[in-house]
């Protein structure tokens, strides 16, 4: 009991909060009851965030909670009603961007308490399904055409004809909304209300129902309903015109122009509250404007209207067929929100015969379209499905191509064992050539060392030896002149070649009569020929190896190191050229010295003979 009393106290506080905030808007000061009622209901709609919910969202929430399968005369508990409202607002938050999220709990509490204040003032804790549907369909946002079509589907039979008792019940329930905002004296329910709406009509179809409720002016008991939608449409309309009473430079919403006073215009706040100034009176006829046009646009519009032969006035709503199509059984399917409402038809349903015309009425499962529109939609669906299949096939084909292209290519050597064996042989041959090259290079280095040692020995053998060049020098010992028969040379060629390599020693150990120049040239030629033959052999084998690898594998990088090795492309360096030049110069000097010694030796022999 304590918890129930506490909860009821909270509900009363929430109800008072909504009405306190509404009174703070000073809406009761509006002079005209129609505008006053529309403004109050619009305030409740925006305060509960119902202006962000259309009739299609409400229908979706009904289906998710099974309200569409319930009897219209069945009662909903407050907890069940709260679940339905929670579905509406939580789904709304999912559709809204993160920067425009609403307070779901507050919206549910405000709307629930407003509905209870309007339809359960005694606190029984239950509301009928028909009341919930009519109330939410009336006070939610969206287009008035969609809302009226849904309402007609609830009060018509299976043949698409309105049932008068059901329409009377609709008026009884929907007029409780103005009573909830303290406008009952102006728009309360009367028994003559339904007859004043459709006085002379025997059968009211959907088109007749829409023509009557959307006409100008609409029925007096429901005049506030289209005005509430017009308020929503012009809330953000800007008029760059100064108000003649409050002298505001511009105005938002409605704009009113006096038909008797010249250029006298009022904003909606001044007109609603009956403000007037100067010669203007509240009894003057005022024209309401929902937009602003410049004088040039007004003139062009008037000229085009006068020159037009046919009437440019568009119908208030599209025309629907008299006989509705049999609805599809989509009780467990929530369809998406339709894009074009002009191709849809009203909700139809089955109406069993009973004493109460709406007691056992089945809730429609969908808003079926007309026959032609339904055929066009089916054709469009078939075309879209065909295009979807083609797109899926193309996606699958592209995916397979991508997978094939992304797979690594298998190694050619693994596919052909012969090529793999040849590759191993070529690599082995390459290693052998590199080893032989290093061996020959080492032999060449040793030979150069032996030549250097020979030059040093020739340079340091005695005072009679000629002066060598500062660079590489090769000197052969010159026998000293014989002054007597018992005199022998102190140094022999064999002595001077001690410690020198065998090849060089053999070349210089031929005896004193051998031509020194020829011996040195032969030794140099031997070295040059050996290196040339080595280079040619390496180049020939390297080129054969490269051609074989290129033809078999197409991989030119196997012997790239061989072709770029300096040992395979031998070029004589500047030091070697200088060495050859010095060698030739030294040989010429030694030849001249030898001839001079021979020339001096001849007189010595003559003297010895004379003695």
State whether 588 and 473 are in the same domain.
Answer: yes
**Do residues 375 and 469 share a domain?**
no
Task: For residue 251, give the DSSP letter.
Answer: E
Same domain, 459 and 565: yes
Same domain, 223 and 249: no
Residues, the chain, total? 611
Decide if 487 is inside a domain.
yes
Q: Report the alpha-carbon distance of residue 139 to residue 51 in Å, rounded.
A: 8
**What pLDDT, in 10s, does the model give residues 149-170?**
999 999 999 889 999 999 999 9
Compute the distance between CA of residue 329 and CA of residue 557 in angstroms, rounded to an integer: 74
Taking the complete model, does pTM exceed 0.95, yes or no? no
Residues 454 and 527 in one domain: yes
Residue 498 confidence (pLDDT): 47
Which one of 230, 247, 273 terminates a domain? 230
Q: Whole-angstrom distance between the N-terminal and C-terminal Cα of the chain?
A: 169
Residues 62 and 160 in one domain: yes
The answer to whether 475 and 593 have CB atoms below 8 angstroms apart is no
- Residue 459 and residue 544 share a domain: yes
Q: Are 232 and 42 contacting, i.e. CB atoms less than 8 angstroms apart?
A: yes
What confidence score (pLDDT) does residue 595 get?
A: 72
Q: How far is it, in rounded angstroms, from Cα 508 to Cα 495?
A: 11
What pLDDT shows up at residue 408? 59
- 360 vs 374: CA distance, rounded Å: 29
**What is the model's pLDDT at position 140?**
95
> Both 203 and 76 in a single domain?
yes
Q: Are residues 37 and 109 in the same domain?
A: yes
Which domain does 397 fall in, by range? 369-403
How many domains does the chain contain in total?
A: 4
CATH number, position 282: 3.30.60.90
Residue 27 counted as domain residue: yes
Residue 333 maps to a domain: no
Report the C-alpha gap between 159 and 326 in whole angstroms: 10
pLDDT value of residue 379: 83
Strand order in the sheet with 265-267: 265-267, 255-258, 286-289
pLDDT tens, residue by residue, 517-561: 566 667 666 777 777 776 676 666 655 555 544 444 444 443 344
Question: 203 in a domain, yes or no?
Answer: yes
Which DSSP state fits 297? H
Write down the pLDDT at residue 366: 45
Do residue 38 and residue 147 come from a single domain?
yes
Point out the domain boundary residue: 291, 308, 332: 291
Q: Is residue 312 part of a domain?
A: no
**Regions of the chain short of the pLDDT cut 70:** 1-14, 200-201, 294-372, 408-415, 461-521, 523-525, 534-535, 537-583, 586-587, 590, 594, 597-611
Q: Is 513 a domain residue?
A: yes
Domain membership flag for residue 343: no
Q: Find where tokens 């569409």 sit.
A: 68
Q: Which two tokens mark 397?
A: 């084909």
Task: For helices 144-154 and 129-139, give the axis angle rounded to 10 degrees.
Answer: 160
**7 found inside a domain:** yes
* Same-domain status, 475 and 576: yes
Predicted local distance difference test score (pLDDT) of residue 307: 65
CATH code of the domain containing 95: 1.10.238.10
Last residue of a domain, one of 207, 230, 253: 230
What pLDDT score does 416 carry? 78
Same domain, yes or no: 445 and 590: yes
**Beta strand 238-239 with 286-289: parallel, antiparallel or unpaired?**
unpaired
Total Cβ atoms within 10 A of residue 318: 14
């Amino acid at each position: 009991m304590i918890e129930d009393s506490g909860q009821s106290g909270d509900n009363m506080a929430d109800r008072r909060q909504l009405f306190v905030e509404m009174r703070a808007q000073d809406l009761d000061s509006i002079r005209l009851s129609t505008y006053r009622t529309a403004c109050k209901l619009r305030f409740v709609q925006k305060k509960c965030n119902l202006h962000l919910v259309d009739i299609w969202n409400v229908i979706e929430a009904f289906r998710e909670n099974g309200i569409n399968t319930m009897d219209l005369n069945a009662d909903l508990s407050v907890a069940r009603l709260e679940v339905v409202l929670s579905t509406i607002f939580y789904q709304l938050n999912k559709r809204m961007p993160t920067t425009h999220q609403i307070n779901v709990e507050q919206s549910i509490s405000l709307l629930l308490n407003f509905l209870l204040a309007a339809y359960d003032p005694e606190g029984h804790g239950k509301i009928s399904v028909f009341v919930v549907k009519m109330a939410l369909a009336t006070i939610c946002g969206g287009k008035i055409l969609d809302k009226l079509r849904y309402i007609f589907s609830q009060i018509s039979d299976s043949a698409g004809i309105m049932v008068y008792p059901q329409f009377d019940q609709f008026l009884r329930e929907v007029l409780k909304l103005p009573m909830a905002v303290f406008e009952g004296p102006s728009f309360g329910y009367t028994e003559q209300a339904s007859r004043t709406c459709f006085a002379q009509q025997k059968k009211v179809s959907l088109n007749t129902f829409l023509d009557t409720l959307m006409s100008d002016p609409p029925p007096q008991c429901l005049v506030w309903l289209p005005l509430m939608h017009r308020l929503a449409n012009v809330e953000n309309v800007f008029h760059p015109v100064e108000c003649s009473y409050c002298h505001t430079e511009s105005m938002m919403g409605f704009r009113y122009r006096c038909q008797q006073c010249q250029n006298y215009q009022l904003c909606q706040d001044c007109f609603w509250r009956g403000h007037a100034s100067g010669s203007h009176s509240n009894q003057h006829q005022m024209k309401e404007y929902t937009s602003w046009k410049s004088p040039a646009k007004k003139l062009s519009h008037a000229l085009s209207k006068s020159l037009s032969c046919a009437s440019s006035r568009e119908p208030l709503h599209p025309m629907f067929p008299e006989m509705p199509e049999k609805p599809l059984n989509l009780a467990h399917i929530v369809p998406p929100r339709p894009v074009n409402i002009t191709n849809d038809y009203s909700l139809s349903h089955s109406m069993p015969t009973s004493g109460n015309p709406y007691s056992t009425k089945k809730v429609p499962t969908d808003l079926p379209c007309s026959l032609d529109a339904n055929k066009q939609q089916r054709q469009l669906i078939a075309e879209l499905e065909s295009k979807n299949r083609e797109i899926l096939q193309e996606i699958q084909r592209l995916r397979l191509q991508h997978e094939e292209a992304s797979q690594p290519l298998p190694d050619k050597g693994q596919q052909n064992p012969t090529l793999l064996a040849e590759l191993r042989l070529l690599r082995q041959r390459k290693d052998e050539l590199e080893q032989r090259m290093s061996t020959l290079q080492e032999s060449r280095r040793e030979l150069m060392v032996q030549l250097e040692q020979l030059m040093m020995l020739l340079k340091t053998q005695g005072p009679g030896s000629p002066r060598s060049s500062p660079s590489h020098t090769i000197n052969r010992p010159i026998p000293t002149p014989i002054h007597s028969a018992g005199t022998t040379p102190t140094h022999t060629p064999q002595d001077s070649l001690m410690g020198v390599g065998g090849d060089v020693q053999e070349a210089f150990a031929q005896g004193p009569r051998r031509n020194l120049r020829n011996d040195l040239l032969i030794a140099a030629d031997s070295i040059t020929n050996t290196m040339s033959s080595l280079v040619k052999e390496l180049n020939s084998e390297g080129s054969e190896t490269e051609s074989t690898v290129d033809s078999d594998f197409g991989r030119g990088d196997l012997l790239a190191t061989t072709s770029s090795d300096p040992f395979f492309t031998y070029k004589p360096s500047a030091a070697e050229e200088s060495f050859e030049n010095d060698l030739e110069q030294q040989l010429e000097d030694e030849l001249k010295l030898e001839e001079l010694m021979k020339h001096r030796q001849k007189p010595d022999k003559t003297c010895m003979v004379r003695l």
